[in-house]
Structure 1
Amino acid sequence: MSRPYRIDTHQHIIPPGYARWVRKKGIQSGGVDLPPWSERSALKFMDKHGVQTGILSLPTPGVHFGDPAEARQQAREVNEFTAEVVASRPERFGFFATLTLPDVEGALAEARYALDTLHADGIVLLANYDGRYLGDPVFEPLLQFLDHRGAVVFVHPGDLPAPAVPGIPAFAADFLLDTTRAALSLVLSGAIETYSGIKFILAHAGGFVPFIAYRILLAMLSNRDQALSALAALTDENRSVLRRFYYDVALSATPSALPSLLAVADPRRITYGTDFPFVPSPAVDFLTAQYENYPLASSLRDAIDRGNAEVLFQRLRGSSG
């Protein structure tokens, strides 16, 4: 690709002040230390991998570690720092604002400020907060607000509400289960239908969602006859609840993962993602080659690379090339 073109909906920012704060607390991100980040390194990475615009988000572990006042302060500082990065290069960056969950009142206040004053492109939520997943009734006031605003919400995994397994880093499998649980929570609670104005993007191709799609439908049903009817409807574009989610392909645009994703997702709701700066450059090179060599129709590849994200972030329409 001759010039940056893609819109990367799964790209992280790690403000220096936030990094110092988290390291001082001795907290890791998915079992690994926070990698270094700078605007310069992000742009260099993007140019190398054909990314015109990166939609920045704060990674796990977020900002809430038990002190609501501290979380509100950190969320505001992270969002204002990120908004400044975006304002200096609006064609190269966008951002998902960080909130203060499980502090719902603080999250509502920060969401209003981020969307109305900082002009955030959307909101990032972790899959669970203290073991409560996004379909939990405690989060309904926030979902109502985001539904009313027609917000784009990026669902990013975090630590499972369970002990870590020694020798197995959280990002390798726990993250995928965490995203899957969040999707199930939104589906089984009815939130995905009640708050249909929210555009939920599931990280990493939805975790295990595509692979266990039929199990998810079975979990929705109360008897065998309904189950058989729902399974028959899985391939019906207008009836599959799983097609209401958006899915990014970060770490998932591979010959092993793409077939399941393409069998379940609405092709108009798949977006490009890299997970920079957490993925080492050689790994990104390898994964990019896997994606670029995978046999996709040119129209679908264009949609994943850019077109589908342009629908979500209309300010970026017509800005490629």
Structure 2
Amino acid sequence: MDWIDVHHHAYHGRLADALAARGVTQMAPGVPVPRWEPADTLRVMAEHDLAAVVLSVLVPDAALLLPDAADLVRRTNEWTAEVVRGNPDRFGLLATLPLPDPDAALAEVGYAFDVLGADGVVLPASLADGALLGDPGLDPLLAELDRRDAVVFVHPNPGYRCSCTGAPDFAAVVPPPLVDFVADTTRAVANLLFRGALRRFPRIRFVLAHGGGTIPFLVGRLELARTWVLPGQDGSVGEELGRLYYETAQSSTAAALACVDAVAEPGHVLFGTDFPFMTGPVVGRTRSEVTAHRPDIGGAALALFPRLRAAARR
């Protein structure tokens, strides 16, 4: 049993209560903040033969814009670290950061890695202030993550006011996870690419949620754009994007996986489920679809999270 789920959320009951006390009850329009307990995950792991999961939390923008955001993020990371300590070979920790405050985010990186023993961090594709991950204001943060050879999971921003595409009422008609989220990831990766951040910070291991949004489909288009956006620059867009990692949550159909496979380097497609937003039956279906496509995807994450090898040997 070597299946590692890299896209697994830990919305602790204590976090849900803390957010509700701040008037935040939704991750995005129509998406309530879940109440998660470790037992929920252990049950799903047993039902679907998962060796380990890597836990992450995205705090909604509505809470990150409040004065006590850094304190809330610190407590959230400590709650998740407490869960990991209880089952260290079955749970990994991706720490969240109090963005868009870059100084507080840098401080939390140090605490997460040096005190909590985090396995990486999760970053939103876009920030509450409108910045994308390649924006120059985030260079000090990316430089520190590069120095640490960090795993960075890029997840769409679940901001309460998320409406990334279309008319102002788009999110009210089409739930944000269906289109807005994949567009958010796509913009973030394109920004990292064309601002040169992928080249400046090559030691960061970026893991892209949901199969990388629409990036795998757009590789050829982005390569063509390089002729006028990045004239004279050596290398290829396909090579840069191939070095990134892509996970399978909500992207496990044969067509989606074939598209990702055409872009990603060997070993750079990882198994992910998006639990608890995706229910146990969806976890099972995702696992079945990935198994039918290529079962070695299940254990590919061990290269990024070697601490979880003990669970995979069981």
TM-score (norm 1): 0.88
1:164 CA drift (Å): 4.9
Secondary structure of 1:251 counterpart: coil
1:270 CA drift (Å): 1.1
- Structure 2 CA distance for partners of 1:5 and 1:201, relative to 1, 3 Å: same
What stretches of structure 1 of length at least 5 have no aligned partner? none
1:75 CA drift (Å): 0.7
Task: Determine whether 1:216 maps to 2:222.
Answer: yes
- Does the CA-based 8 Å contact 1:131-1:161 persist in structure 2? no
- Does the CA-based 8 Å contact 1:63-1:75 persist in structure 2? no
Quote the Cα distance in structure 2 between the aligned partners of 1:151 and 1:213.
Answer: 25
Partner of 1:200: 206
- Does the CA-based 8 Å contact 1:131-1:160 persist in structure 2? no
Secondary structure of 2:138 counterpart: helix
Q: Which has the higher contact order (CA 8 A, sep 6+)?
A: 2
- Structure 2 CA distance for partners of 1:167 and 1:98, relative to 1, 3 Å: same
1:268 CA drift (Å): 1.4
Partner of 2:117: 119
Structure 1 residue runs of 4+, over 4 Å off?
223-227
Partner deviation per Cα, 1:143-187 (whole Å, 9 max, x = no partner): 011011111000000135564512210001110010111110110
The code of the aligned residue for 1:13 comes to A
Quote the Cα distance in structure 2 between the aligned partners of 1:291 and 1:311.
Answer: 18
Secondary structure of 2:152 counterpart: strand
Partner of 2:142: 143
Task: Determine whether 1:311 maps to 2:303.
Answer: yes
- Does the CA-based 8 Å contact 2:2-2:311 persist in structure 1? no
Spell out the pairing of 1:155-304 with structure 2 (5 A cutoff).
Answer: 155-158=154-157, 159-161=162-164, 163-165=168-170, 166-222=172-228, 240-294=239-293, 296=294, 301-302=295-296, 304=297
1:309 CA drift (Å): 1.3
What stretches of structure 2 of length at least 5 have no aligned partner? none
Secondary structure of 2:98 counterpart: coil
Secondary structure of 1:200 counterpart: strand
The code of the aligned residue for 1:192 comes to L
1:53 CA drift (Å): 0.9
The code of the aligned residue for 2:5 comes to D
- Does the CA-based 8 Å contact 2:12-2:36 persist in structure 1? yes
- Does the CA-based 8 Å contact 1:10-1:57 persist in structure 2? yes
Secondary structure of 1:95 counterpart: strand
The code of the aligned residue for 2:239 comes to S
1:246 CA drift (Å): 0.7
The code of the aligned residue for 1:33 comes to P
The code of the aligned residue for 1:108 comes to L
1:273 CA drift (Å): 0.4
Quote the Cα distance in structure 2 between the aligned partners of 1:222 and 1:97.
Answer: 38
Quote the Cα distance in structure 2 between the aligned partners of 1:316 and 1:289.
Answer: 22
Question: What's the RMSD between the two structures over aligned residues?
Answer: 2.2
Quote the Cα distance in structure 2 between the aligned partners of 1:309 and 1:194.
Answer: 24
Partner of 1:34: 33
Quote the Cα distance in structure 2 between the aligned partners of 1:275 and 1:123.
Answer: 16
1:127 CA drift (Å): 0.3
1:256 CA drift (Å): 2.2
1:6 CA drift (Å): 0.9
Partner of 2:69: 71
1:193 CA drift (Å): 0.8
1:137 CA drift (Å): 0.5
1:64 CA drift (Å): 4.5
1:319 CA drift (Å): 3.9
Quote the Cα distance in structure 2 between the aligned partners of 1:75 and 1:167.
Answer: 31
Quote the Cα distance in structure 2 between the aligned partners of 1:18 and 1:187.
Answer: 34
Quote the Cα distance in structure 1 between the aligned partners of 2:75 and 2:229.
Answer: 50
Q: Percent identity?
A: 40
Quote the Cα distance in structure 1 between the aligned partners of 2:286 and 2:308.
Answer: 25
Quote the Cα distance in structure 2 between the aligned partners of 1:37 and 1:83.
Answer: 15
Match 1:94 to one of 89, 92, 99: 92
1:280 CA drift (Å): 2.2
- Structure 2 CA distance for partners of 1:219 and 1:318, relative to 1, 3 Å: same
